[in-house]
Amino acid sequence: MYLTQGLHRSVSRCPDKIALVNGDRQFTHAELIDRIGRLAAALAGLGVAEGDRIGILATNSAEYVEYALACPWGGFVLAPINNRWSLTEMAYQVDDAEITVLITDEAALPQALELRDKCSTLASIVCYGAAQLPDDCLDYEDLIATSTPIADRLLAGDSLAAILYTGGTTGVPKGVMLGPGQIMVSSMGSLLSAGLPNLPERFLHVSPLYHMAALAGIYQQVMLGSTQYVLGEFDVHRLAETIERERITATTLVPTMIQRLLTLIETTGADLSSLIHLGYGASPISETVLRQALRLLPHLQMCQRYGMTELGPVATLLTPADHRDITHPQRLRSAGRAAMHTEVRVVGENGEEMPIGQVGEVIVRGGNIMLGYWKKPAETAHALRGGWMHTGDMGYFDDDGYLYVVDRLKDMIVTGGENVYSAEVESVLSLHASVSSCAVIGVPDPDWGERVHAVVVLAPGHDTDASTLREFCAQYIARYKAPRTVEFVPALPLSPVGKILKRTLREQHNTSMGQPS
C-alpha cells in the first residue's frame, strides 16, 4: 500500500466529490490530486531530490494536507515542525534533518525567516496566505499555478516517508523515521480493530497535524475517500459551529477538548447529532465524561488509541463496544487491547514476560514499528532490541488482555495533548542561578489532563518566584513545556543512592489534592 493510493481510487470513482474543505475554500478529488501533483513538481523544480526533507511550519490548513500528500507523491520526506516549539528547538530540527525547503503560513513567516538565517541547509521559504511577501520568498499558489503535475512515485513499503521529531529524555529531540508501510499498517489495523466500516466520513482535523496521530488521520481518511475539513487553532466554539454547520461525522480529540465540547453542548444546546465516530488519545477518559458524552450524544461511538510516534502510532485500542460495556467500568482506565496489527507484551528488567497483574515495561512488535531514529543508530538499537519497540511506559495486563498504563519510565507528561519530557524542563530550570535542585512531574489538572509542575530547592542566599522561572524557561523551550506551577521546598525526597524519588512527589501531590495515586 502507498500513502496516495486512496487519491487515485477516489478520482476514478467520484472525481467531482468534495475532498477537502478549509473555511470557504473547497476542492474536489480531481482538483486536489491536480494540486498535489503540481506542488510536488514545484518542489522538484526548487532542486529537491527524492529522499530530501521538506519542512512545514504552520497551523492546520488545507495546504498542510496538500503538503502531507505532495511529499510522498514526489518521493520527498516530510518533516513537519511543531509550531509551539522555541526557535532553538526548531533550528535543531532543521539542521538535524537537513531541511532544504520550508513551507509556512503568514503567522509563522517571521520565524521561518529567522530559521533560514540560522540554518545553513535551508535554501527556500514557500509561504501561503500572506498579503505581501519578501522578495526572497516564494508564493505557494504561484508555484502551483506555474508547475506541470509530475507522476506519482507511488512511495510504498519501507521507503523513508516521514521524520517526526519527539522530545528527548536528554533534552535532545529524536527524529522518528517512518515509511508508508508502517503508517498504513497502523491506520488500516486501527480501523479494523475498532470495527469501523470502510465508508467515507465527513472528517474534521482539529489536533495539530505535526503530531503523528493527526498526520496519520490524513492518510486514513484519504484511503476511505472521505471529505476532510480542517480547523486551525483549537477553539471550542468554532469546533462546535463547524460540526453543526458541516454535519461532521468523525473527528479525533484529546480528553481536554472533549470535556470543553460537552460543557458547551450543555450550556448552548448545540446540535452535534451528526457526530458518530470520536477518537481520542493521550490519556484515558473518565467515566463521568463518558456518561456525559453518551447522554448528550447517544449515538456516539468512542475509541481510545494508545501508542506513540515510533508505533506509527497505534498499539492498542479501547473500542466503541468497550466504552458501552457497563459491566466492566474499570476498563475505561485501560488503554484497551492490542490492535490486530500488533503484539504487545509487558516485560521485566531482564526481558521476561510479567504475569497478569504485575507491572513491567510495555513493548510492541508489528509491521507498524518505526524504521529507526534519524542519525541515531545506538538509540535505535536500544529501542528496538530483540525486534520489539521498548516504549518506556510501565503497565500491566488484566485477565482479559486489557493494558493498563500506570507510569512512564521516560517521565513524559501529557498536557493538553502535548508531550513534555521532565528531564528537558529540569535541564533548563537548573540553568537558573536561584535553583539548587529540582524535579518536574505531571500533576492532575481539570483543564489540561496533566500540568507541568516543578518542585524546586533554592540555592542558598537566592530567591525567585514561579513567574520568573516560567519566563526563564520560555527563553529555551516552548511555553507549554514551562512549569505552570512551582513548589518551593527545603529538600527533595531521595533514595539511599541519592536519586530523586519522583513517585514520592507524585503521591504527595495527589494526596494533597485528595486524589490518592
pLDDT band at 417; cut points 50, 70, 90: confident
Predicted local confidence at residue 372, as pLDDT? 98
Instruction: Give the residue, 81 or 446, on which the prediction is more confident.
Output: 81
Give 252-298 pLDDT, tens digit per residue.
998 878 988 999 999 999 999 999 999 998 766 777 788 889 899 99
Is the per-residue pLDDT at 442 higher than 50? yes
Give 120-173 pLDDT, tens digit per residue.
999 999 999 999 999 999 999 999 999 999 999 999 999 999 999 986 545 578
Predicted local confidence at residue 126, as pLDDT? 98
Q: What is the mean pLDDT of residues 422-428?
A: 82
34-43, 194-203, 392-401, 461-470: range with highest mean pLDDT: 34-43
Q: State the average pLDDT for the chain.
A: 91
Q: Which residues of the chain does CATH 3.30.300.30 include?
A: 412-512
pLDDT band at 32; cut points 50, 70, 90: very high
- Distance from C-alpha of 67 to C-alpha of 86, rounded to nearest angstrom: 23
C-alpha cell at 230: 480542517
Q: Tell me the whole-structure pTM to 2 decimals.
A: 0.85
- Hunting for cell 539542521 — which residue is that? 95
Give 61-109 pLDDT, tens digit per residue.
999 999 999 999 999 999 999 998 989 999 999 999 999 999 999 999 9
CA-only gyration radius of the chain, Å: 23
- Distance from C-alpha of 40 to C-alpha of 37, rounded to nearest angstrom: 5
Is the per-residue pLDDT at 511 higher than 90? no
- Distance from C-alpha of 18 to C-alpha of 25, rounded to nearest angstrom: 11
Which of the 8 DSSP states describes residue 151? P
Question: CATH top-level class for 28-156?
Answer: alpha beta
Give 178-193 pLDDT, tens digit per residue.
999 999 999 999 999 9
Predicted local confidence at residue 173, as pLDDT? 86
The secondary structure of 336-405 as a DSSP string is -EE-TTEEEEEE-TTSPBPPTT--EEEEEEETTS-SEETT-HHHHHHHTGGG-EEEEEEEEE-TTS-EEE
Q: Cα(first)–Cα(last) distance of the chain, in Å?
A: 44
427, with CB counted inside 10 A (0-12, 13-18, 19+), is middle
- Distance from C-alpha of 302 to C-alpha of 324, rounded to nearest angstrom: 9
Is the per-residue pLDDT at 52 higher than 50? yes
Q: Report strand pairing: 124-128 vs 101-105.
A: parallel
- Hunting for cell 469501523 — which residue is that? 196
Closest residue by Cα to residue 229 from 405, 408, 65 = 65
Give 210-240 pLDDT, tens digit per residue.
999 999 999 999 999 999 999 988 899 999 9
**Three-class DSSP category at 342:** strand
49, with CB counted inside 10 A (0-12, 13-18, 19+), is exposed
Measuring CA to CA, how many Å separate 339 from each of 90, 158, 217?
33, 21, 16
Is the per-residue pLDDT at 499 higher than 80? no
pLDDT band at 513; cut points 50, 70, 90: very low
Q: What is the mean pLDDT of residues 292-310?
A: 93
Predicted local confidence at residue 433, as pLDDT? 86
Q: Which residues of the chain does CATH 3.40.50.980 include?
A: 28-156
| Distance of alpha carbon 316 from the chain centroid | 16
Predicted local confidence at residue 169, as pLDDT? 47
The secondary structure of 451-497 as a DSSP string is EEEEEEEEPTT----HHHHHHHHHTTS-GGGS-SEEEE-S---B-TT
Question: CATH top-level class for 412-512?
Answer: alpha beta
